[in-house]
Structure 1
């Protein structure tokens, strides 16, 4: 039987075996299992078992099977009793069993012979060892969530307490409404933002960036019961992830009314100043911050109408944040006042001839197909050459520098006080209802809205953005005990996450003529999208702003059928998810994007090296009104995309003996390809298509061929294909349907205090909407700026007349394979592969005296079929220089200007390069010379991860709790190439490699006051002073990231780059004298790269962070508690420095400097909280 037939056979067989449509799930609830025996050890079948939630009064009734085995699944986290009754035996009660998120704990019961009126009550410690599962993870209990010092009350901050995780995103973006960064954890050898998140078992993710998932909703800490970070799970019910899952369980109401109300404040006077602000003498920035909230939960009670105790419960939570805080994400460099007036002499004096400005209006052709131009005398541009638009932009919209900056003028506009104004409001309501002892349901709705304005670097219409997130989520769940040994759970979940942004609202309808642009340009841009244009001045702060509205909808249907059969706990089911996104765009590149670099202002030749970071030369281009050919104006399409995902699973937890449990499972997933509702997308690339102009271009080329490509081989071959056009299917690619995922695990108990555990599982990443968006080439269209057709001998377009031929309107797929000829394109790989992760672990768990449990494990992960972006149209590397130093003969040869065979043949919209009279030789050598870059994905990436992981935990007792994790790991990858046409990726240390990570958290109630060890008998007044004090804290250490290196020249052994830690300074993070070539005129170009991407021994700064808090509890009777808290985030004020500059020609080379440190300086949160 063929593979495809097997796949479809399984698709029909599995639901058939389950007898009806069951929906599979990843659940936050737990399970209590056990075996009932008599005093001789013989099993007791058909015993009546009741499992009771002590806080809610709800119970689950079931019976043991023929093997004496019972199983109570889908239990909310909490404290339980287990009661057993059977004729001829005394009644049995096991009390105070703590069940945590996704726990599977064993409660074995031994009955005593006796009368039914007699009873045996056992109150012992909750089983601490994981004897029923091989999966790894860490539970963050509700007390940690509520009482540890966490920024902004964001519970996801505590994901980092687990072993095997490393934080890889921006530590400054830690608020609950910054959804990408707060879950930016890499887990056990997978990339960050590739793991799943569920709340109450329902999906709680959305997409924002290609190949990543973000949190779609963050619950307030006061309504979080607890959560579990599962880094290596071998339960087949878990899928839709590359291996990691964070399971959050929200609180339910109980039989008593409980709640909280709180207010948190942060003020500048309680903040430390930024490291770099201190160095420049800049005072602490001003800001304000207010966070408040409330929660309440209990039975639903309507006087004289309904008493919901033991049956119906509610839980409500609310939180709000209002703040204005520093946020400067820009490039902290602006032109000097002298530059605005054409005087660049200071650059020449300080930086030497690398910063010479050349006069493009003196350009002329010289030998060898080159073009030459003269320098401006004294590096001063005459006022007579100023362009009105460029001069207006510089004079009226670019501010003056605020600091002296570096010698090259960089870092002269540091604004640590630049504020973001944000508001955030979140709500959540949950109800639980017991229909009968056999059926129970719950429903929850949650929502939040966030609005911000920020990035107004210039304090005028040229900059500033408005940003919003909006989240709406809901879940409905039904548990039904079909009989004493069989339980069915079904759930529907929905979340809608909206990301929206736009430029400065005051700039809407901006009048372009006020800058000096012609009136026709103003009329070509619809007023509703017209903004201040985007000016990208290389090396300097630009004026680009976003504009989008992107609702993202996720529907999920899931659940499980569980059956206790002999010593087998069986479950199986099906999972379905639908991912949809609708997007509309209105960024200011739709008004116009003008790029200024060194294209027209470097020299003396057109291929001479540019100034470091284009400093000076890019500003000169703006002042002269000469954008580069990469400038454009965009007509952007909207899209509506969707993909569907299915998963089937079967799992057996087999209690082989009293000591050995096997976890055996099989999962099958497939995800349909991405589609666009109206087929507005590129699909693939037809490599057999011959462009209509090919013969003419070939004949022209034959007159002046380059020897590497015979005229017979110079064919304009290839063009785009589109969804549902010319015989192409609607689906944008084919997805594999054979993603079979075995899951194997074992837990073997040695004595009472030690368990050996190990497991293996296969996981697959995503291929649909979460992988990336549709490609709308043709439906969106750029009108490219055409500055010149003769390499700058004459200029056709300047800022004074940027679009002399008008603006091109989108044509959809009407041009077929001729779409975007002469431009850069991308398309989908027709047969992509799902990233495959094989994960395994082996280790042991041991319980020590005093309630400490240690888990020590080796964890491995092997990734295959990882997606790598690739340019299919590079200069073939056989023509590139192999020299380890600058090879001017090869550079001159490849950049030589030859007669352009495509001139006049390209469709409207082609880049100016293809319409110039001349074209560089290297373009004629490319596989598809009639296109610019051609983007596609390849799937031959791989990765390796090996780690020693240790977790130690003591649950709260005797006044304290402690939890700690340590990870020692190595993460290698082959997901990058030196050259685009490399046969295989480069093996290197991963950019996510963090060899060491330590995370410790603890809460300690000081032993003073009533009910404590010391001063137990003091009066109420004295107790109010010395009693109720509590300390808590979180410590995090994490190795720094490997530093990324560019295509550089180094004459000595790279081992000399690293400096000992004692010698590292922000001014000299590594040895800049280790043999780097720093002369801009001698840098590499048109070469085969040889310098490594990263070194494992040369890293950015490490995380070394203490978050500490002091809490004073003042109890008013037993029911009420007033809590005062002072929380010190980064209490020791350890700065985290940014990654150092690795551009040898830059003035800041080797310096780990920026406008602000990478983390926050010490922050103090003051909270008052009322608990009842």
Structure 2
């Protein structure tokens, strides 16, 4: 019997044995709970009091007695509104109406039974403490009031999570979240307790380009689990977003909605969305232009009863249509499209230095004149004509989006102790031109975008059983499938058509001047027939039992994921040119650079496209919520996780690179979690909570895919890299029809380190919370995370003993660069194993730290007002924590050590402030004045934070002449030391020492409700996103220096020229999170 199977059966035996003597109830990942200590008027416990909890929507009831200390906790309660009744012989009855239950939250009551003959009726919406004294987790619930009333950009409801402390958005605007500075790929997302992730890319289902994967009309509420959360949640070293959907009730209820958003409704022009044109004088001019952007969202969410008190239905429909052309533009249009002078100005000369040096554009014309063997005037004319041709490759790109979601759900109350539900979600997304999500595709041409499609179907079934007044079980099963695929755009632009005369019928990608120019042709990552086609099966079971002051919980969660892929990066070839001049040289006359190609590199990959593999995640957990005293609760738990990876792909171990083919098997992922909640004075007004947990993330399926398919074996996917001087290098625009055997280029490979471990994080937190009265609470929280075993990539085929010492002479006419004098560095120039190119080892040796202090003031909805506000100071540091969903080649600046990669995390946001409120007009006029003046509501959301960090990078590959050499030597890759580090940093500036300007966003909503026929409410809404039109930077020029080649006359030297545009803004308000001011009108009908 295998170790994993033995652990599985052992756990089941322990579970059965523990169930034989215990009984109980508690909240779960899909439900909430109600708890209380029943007392008499003198403060003594009332033992054995009878408790009845009644669901006001469905009529379902649950009963239980209080224990000897008067304590009871009733769980398995669907989020919603309840009435709680308490009775005991010799005492008056107690009834609490409008008790709100939230997912994952224990709603605490304080029933006091008077003497017989009296009664107490309490409205809990206006009474009860706003302080959590029952559980230690650091979580926040986003309830129906917030979801319905606050403005949300794009109606992607999960973005509300950023309103909670310790959570930030990613810099790309895809909507992914970072918790406590952890990588975006380390989170978990659930819907009704079922896994809601696409595990291949470690993101929410539906991907990051679709509008959203589940309609907001179907969302009841969700919980943001940031730290020290329940052991029920696993597969996350970051945070967990746990969502509950709506259900039907006895009374027909629902909403119809229509949202109309158009930047023609007072929308602002983005100053960084530039259209470049050629003036009559021949000069190229770039100017801002407001591009059309409208979206229509309409649908409904309606529920009711098929059988009163027994069978309920709910159905949501959502249609999302958007027309949002994007602008494809060069990285720096004014620089890239600078025209050359028809004749060299007086005093300037080709090859001149100092005062005689020509302008950048004129120098490009000189290069073209030399390579094409013509005069400067001829070179200038051809250069400007080439720029005019390239101008046709930028501009407005048509882009549309059409998304349809259907969500039916049935709830069946089989008996008073059994509840069955089943739901199905169907999403279809089609977006021609939609691979790019930003309004401006900087450094991309009009045909370098791609079309995006998603097909998603999943179903979840759940059976909840109350086996006794103190024992409950929840069984969940899921089956789902998500197909993501992308295609190249058609038809081809006229300028590219000559490049497509090959066996594929598609042009290769051509990248020109990466920092100032753009890429044209077929994107290197397209087409993707399925990437992935993911099938998911999940089974989970949780039993909850209680005895005395203990509430025990144990369960298992098994998730099987099959990923089918049909894709290969760079299959149609990728040319990279350092400048427009070198590209145009090859364009007009291939191999015109001293008889060699003029490109910096050419890459093409070969091998089978289709792969299929399966991973299985096992999770086992047990917990004890121990009510030590009426004032002290301990939350104790442990979770074990194991991810079974697929075996080596058949046939790909033959001829594989050293190390390739190893499959990690990390079986030591046992994580304890412990926390406490202490009611300091016993009155529910002051609480101290804290906890510690050891959590584990997943090994990404995308990482597994690359390690399986890129083993270096010729039977797998292999990529070949050519420079101009590599034997067998193709002439532009040719590509290879088959594997280029016999060339000097060697295949690259990826492999797992033999000690590879799943990501691990130590979480700790401490909170002091005070009830200020008036349904208002104030809290101060310390949050800490220590990341361990985090993934990264290093090229192990770099000969670190075969190096050269190179001195870079600095050219900086501005004096603004950080490097003030000549800079010396070793340069890696040779491979250890000459049979291969890069040999990338995927290792788990990165550590991180996060420390934060958060203060929050929350006012629950009362007196027409709800407020959420918080400020978080934090600092996130790491040794190069990686968020890549594909395998980088080398992420270490120095391949032998991590010490030079230590610095601010990519997710470091030192200061963040959030304010959100919902205020309803308090007046109540009668008659016609009521129709005009009643029902107004205003809901602002303001967010401000420190800009995200970035590093100074370099452009180019070290090129120098060794002493006495007649041929130049080059580094293995980019960066000043030739290591190919993806950030291309220098050893002087370090990681993430710079940051974007501070971000600010004010979104507002003004609504007017009109009630008619007593049960219908018509709501008219006007919303503004980024109302103040603050310029939120989303892209900067990170290239600080350009590496230039040395000469034989000055051996072991090269040049570094400072880029005066370093740090300047290249894009702002350019994604789904940040946009220029836009307005939206909407109408909703509630009933």
Q: Sort the TM-score into its range (normalised by shorter chain).
A: 0.7 to 0.9
Closer/same/farther in 2, CA of residues 936 and 846 from structure 1, 3 Å limit: same
Q: 1: distance between equivalents of 2:409 and 2:604?
A: 51
- The CA distance in 2 between the partners of 1:971 and 1:377, in whole Å, is 56
| Cross-structure match for 1:807 | 738
Q: Is the 8 A contact 1:135 1:232 kept in 2?
A: yes
* Correspondent of 1:544 among 504, 511, 522: 522
Given that 2:110 and 2:128 are in contact with CA atoms closer than 8 Å, whether structure 1 keeps it comes out as no
Partner of 2:304 in structure 1? 298
5+ residue gaps, structure 1: 172-180, 301-307, 363-373, 402-412, 599-613, 686-717, 723-731, 811-817, 896-921, 1011-1015, 1050-1081
Q: Which residue of 2 aligns with 1:239?
A: 234
2:268 matches 1:272: yes
Q: 1:109–1:882: structure 2 CA closer, same or farther, 3 Å change rule? A: farther
Q: Provide the TM-score with structure 2 as the length reference.
A: 0.81
Q: Deviations over 1:112-146 (max 9, x none)?
A: 5648xx85434342442211111112111112111
Superposed CA deviations along residues 823-867 of structure 1, whole A, max 9, x for unmatched, are 222222233111110011112111112110122111111111111
How well do the aligned residues superpose, as a CA RMSD in angstroms? 4.1
Alpha-carbon distance change, 200 to 6 in structure 1, aligned in 2, over 3 angstroms: closer
What is the distance in 1 between the residues matched to 2:643 and 2:581? 51
What is aligned with 2:709?
Answer: 776
Q: Does 1:595 align with 2:575?
A: yes
8 Å contact from structure 2 (residues 155, 216) kept in 1 = yes
Q: What is the alpha-carbon distance in structure 2 between the residues aligned to residue 52 and residue 551 of structure 1?
A: 44
- Residue 735 of structure 1 aligns with which residue? 665
- Matches of 2:691 and 2:219, distance apart in 1: 30
Q: Match of 2:698?
A: 766
Change (3 A) 1:734 1:342: farther
Q: Equivalents in 1 of 2:67, 2:249: separation in Å?
A: 31
Change (3 A) 1:113 1:353: same
Match of 2:789 in 1: 865
Structure-1 residue corresponding to 2:888: none
User: Secondary structure at the residue paired with 1:261?
Assistant: strand
Structure 2: stretches of 5+ with no match in the other structure = 20-24, 276-285, 352-356, 591-596, 812-821, 881-890, 957-973, 980-984, 1042-1056
Query: Deviation digits for residues 53-90 of structure 1, max 9, x if unmatched?
Result: 11221111233445544332121111212223444444
Give the equivalent residue in structure 2 for 1:1024.
931
Q: Which residue of 2 aligns with 1:1154?
A: 1066
Residue 309 of structure 2 corresponds to residue 378 of structure 1: no
More strand by share: 2
Listed as ranges, the matches of 1:733-882 within 5 Å are: 733-751=663-681, 752=683, 753-767=685-699, 769=701, 771-774=703-706, 775-777=708-710, 778-781=714-717, 784=720, 797-799=730-732, 803=736, 807-808=738-739, 822-876=746-800, 879-881=803-805
- On the 8 A contact 1:492/1:558 being kept in 2, the answer is yes
Asked if 1:962 corresponds to 2:867, the answer is yes
Q: Deviations for 1:542-591, whole angstroms, at most 9, x for unmatched residues?
A: 1133211121223221131111101001111111111221111277x44x
Is the counterpart of residue 581 in structure 1 residue 563 in structure 2?
A: yes
Q: Which residue of 2 aligns with 1:187?
A: 179
Q: Is the 8 A contact 1:233 1:244 kept in 2?
A: no
Q: CA deviation at 1:356?
A: 7.1
Q: Distance in 2 between matches of 1:1123 and 1:953?
A: 26
Q: Does 1:314 align with 2:296?
A: no
The alignment partner of 2:147 has SS state of helix
Does 2:990 align with 1:1093? yes
User: CA–CA distance in 2 between the matches of 1:282 and 1:391?
Assistant: 23
Which digits, 9 at most, give the CA deviation of each residue in 1:357-405, with x for residues without a partner? 658998xxxxxxxxxxx9975385599xx9xxx999x69974448xxxx
Structure 1 SS opposite 2:929? helix
CA distance in 2, matches of 1:650, 1:36: 28
Give the Cα–Cα distance (whole angstroms) in 1 for the partners of residues 460 and 975 of structure 2.
58
* Distance 1:97-1:641 versus aligned 2 partners, 3 A rule: same
Deviation, 1:657, is 0.7
Separation (CA, whole Å) in 2 of partners of 1:337 and 1:351: 8
Q: Aligned residue for 1:174?
A: none
Alignment match, 1:486: 471
Pair 1:865–1:330, CA change in 2 (3 A): farther
Q: CA 1:492–1:38 in structure 2 vs 1: closer, same or farther (change >3 Å)?
A: same
Residue in structure 1 matched with residue 1054 of structure 2 by the alignment: none
* 1:1046 lines up with 2:953 in the alignment: yes
Instruction: Tell me which moved more, 63-72 or 1111-1120.
Output: 63-72
In 2, Cα distance between the equivalents of 1:119 and 1:1083?
78
Aligned to 1:123: 123
Aligned to 1:1140: 1036
1:371-520 → structure 2 map (5 Å cutoff): 378=376, 380-381=378-379, 398-400=390-392, 413=394, 415=395, 417-454=396-433, 463=448, 465-506=450-491, 515=498
For 2:1075 and 2:873, the matched residues in 1 are separated by: 26
* 2:1043 equivalent to 1:1112: no
* 1:18 and 2:15 correspond: yes
* Secondary structure, counterpart of 1:16 in structure 2: helix
Match of 2:643 among 671, 676, 697: 671
Report the CA distance shift for 1:683/1:958 in structure 2 as closer, same or farther (over 3 A).
Answer: farther
Tell me, yes or no, if the aligned pair for 1:1039 and 1:1101 is still in contact at 8 Å: yes
| 1:510-541 alpha-carbon deviations (Å, 9 max, x no partner) | 999x72887xx43xx4xxxx434333334333
Query: Which has the larger displacement, 982-991 or 24-33?
Result: 24-33
Q: Are 1:781 and 1:808, in contact at CA under 8 Å, matched by a contact in 2?
A: no
Is 1:222 the equivalent of 2:222? no
Q: CA distance change for structure 1 residues 329 and 298 in 2, over 3 Å: closer, same or farther?
A: farther
Alpha-carbon contact 1:33-1:107 (below 8 Å) kept: yes
8 Å Cα contact 2:397/2:446 also seen in 1 = no
> Residue 351 of structure 1 is aligned with which of 347, 351, 360?
360
- Indicate the structure (1 or 2) with the bigger Cα radius of gyration: 1
Deviations for 1:670-696, whole angstroms, at most 9, x for unmatched residues? 1112447x63656997xxxxxxxxxxx
Taking a change above 3 Å as real, the CA distance of residues 511 and 857 of structure 1, as seen in their structure-2 partners, is: closer
Aligned match of 1:134: 136
Equivalent residue, structure 1, for 2:36: 34
**CA deviation profile, 1:579-633 (whole Å, cap 9, x unmatched):** 221111277x44x3241425xxxxxxxxxxxxxxx34223323332235552436
Q: 1:376 to 1:159 in 2, by over 3 A?
A: farther
The reply on whether 1:621 has 2:592 as its aligned counterpart is no
Q: Secondary structure at the match of 1:656?
A: strand
Shift in Å at residue 336 of structure 1? 6.0
Q: Tell me what 2:282 maps to.
A: none
CA distance in 1, matches of 2:471, 2:329: 59
Partner secondary structure for residue 848 of structure 1: strand
SS in 2 for 1:857: strand
Residue by residue over 1:644-691, the C-alpha shift from the partner in whole angstroms, topping out at 9 and shown as x without a partner, is 111111111111111111111111111112447x63656997xxxxxx
Counterpart mapping for 1:162-173 below 5 A: 162-171=164-173
Q: Does 1:659 align with 2:642?
A: no
Farther-moved stretch of structure 1 (834-843 vs 279-288): 279-288
Aligned to 2:253: 258
Deviation, 1:1147, is 5.8
Query: CA distance change for structure 1 residues 112 and 468 in 2, over 3 Å: closer, same or farther?
Result: same
Give how far 1:769 is off: 2.3
Residue 784 to residue 834, structure 1, CA distance change in 2 (3 Å) = closer
In structure 1, the partner of 2:914 is 999
Q: Report which stretch shifted further, 959-968 or 11-20.
A: 11-20
SS at match of 1:648: strand
Q: From 838, 849, 852, give the equivalent of 1:933.
A: 838
Q: Which moved more, 1:97-106 or 1:965-974?
A: 97-106
Q: Distance in 1 between matches of 2:398 and 2:495?
A: 27
